[in-house]
Amino acid sequence: MQRQLQIIPIPAFKDNYIWLMHNGIDAVAVDPGDAEPLQRTLRALNLNLVAILITHHHQDHIGGVEALIKQFPQINVFAPKLEHYDFKHTPVSEPDRFACADWLPEIDVLDLPGHTLGHVGFYMAQPGQKWLFCGDTLFGAGCGRLFEGTPLQMLTSLQKLAALPEETLVYCTHEYTLHNINFALSIEPNNHVLIQRRQDTQDLRNTESPSLPSTIALELASNPFLRCNSKQIQSTLHLENQPLLEVFTKIRSLRNHY
């Protein structure tokens, strides 16, 4: 009997999520920056960790990997080919496709430079279900800071994600959504989807529930970094009819100081 796939968030640090996919027996973790909360969840659910997916090299995404490899010596770790890692891993980059568990669809690797130069995302699809694990590239109503890449690289990465099917579930790795929404409303105050999203997100956070996953459709309708062609955003920024890259660069600069 095939067991149902479940995807659960494991809070870590102040605002990180480690995403855990499991079928009731085995599990795959995404960006385990801290081993302890993941280990606690694995014990509670009696799960065997079989693989780890890494989107980029920042410590809050990889800090728990070595302890997990020690605990699960047969584990497979998949990490960006264009970045350096001291732990044993399989380097991946676009257009690689790989299987990390027979109960999961094959995973497509997407190169998403911007936040870091080697950042990748992981996309899975099967009839009626699509999932994107995008690390710190796309956030709920936001995007990652440009620590290594250029505005053009990040805009190109975001446009790649925006082209995915609208029903795709978006699993990013930080609980930034409400703050991002408040910023977005400062430059697009009449966006009714954004206004409703603020209320919905506030309701979730009031019960300490995650605001994630999002969907590509919701991000297209409310994420300013995917809405650089919005007339209201361009008007607010005094950048009417300017290139999308100029608009994007201005939005990112404003968000850095919000």
Per-residue pLDDT at 222 exceeds 70: yes
Q: What is the pLDDT of residue 2?
A: 52
Please state whether 133 falls in left (phi above 0), alpha (psi between -120 and 50) or beta. beta
Residue with tokens 């996953």: 213
Q: What is the pLDDT of residue 1?
A: 37
How does residue 4 score in pLDDT terms, banded at 50, 70 and 90?
confident
Concatenate the DSSP letters of all residues of 60-112 into one string. HHHTTHHHHHHHSTT-EEEEETTS--SS--EEE-TT-EE-S-TTS--EEEEE-
Residue with the bigger pLDDT between 1 and 128: it is: 128
Q: List pLDDT tens digits, range 22-41.
A: 999 999 999 999 999 999 99
As a whole number, mean pLDDT of residues 230-254 equals 97
As a whole number, mean pLDDT of residues 55-69 equals 98
Cis check: omega of the bond before 213, within 30 degrees of 0: yes
Q: How many helices and strands in the chain, by DSSP H and E?
A: 9, 14
Per-residue pLDDT at 64 exceeds 80: yes
Residues 6+ positions from 9 with CB-CB distance below 8 Å? 17, 18, 19, 20, 210, 212
Per-residue pLDDT at 63 exceeds 60: yes
Q: List pLDDT tens digits, range 163-203.
A: 999 999 999 999 999 999 999 999 999 999 999 999 999 99
Per-residue pLDDT at 204 exceeds 60: yes
Tell me the pTM. Answer: 0.96
Tokens linked to 56: 């980029």
How does residue 94 score in pLDDT terms, banded at 50, 70 and 90?
very high
Q: What is the pLDDT of residue 7?
A: 97
Q: What is the pLDDT of residue 221?
A: 98
Per-residue pLDDT at 240 exceeds 90: yes
Q: What is the pLDDT of residue 58?
A: 98
Q: What is the pLDDT of residue 62?
A: 98
Using the CB atoms, write b or e for 242-257: b if 16+ within 10 Å.
eeeeebbbbbbeebee
Superfamily of domain 6-256: Ribonuclease Z/Hydroxyacylglutathione hydrolase-like (3.60.15.10)
How does residue 102 score in pLDDT terms, banded at 50, 70 and 90?
very high
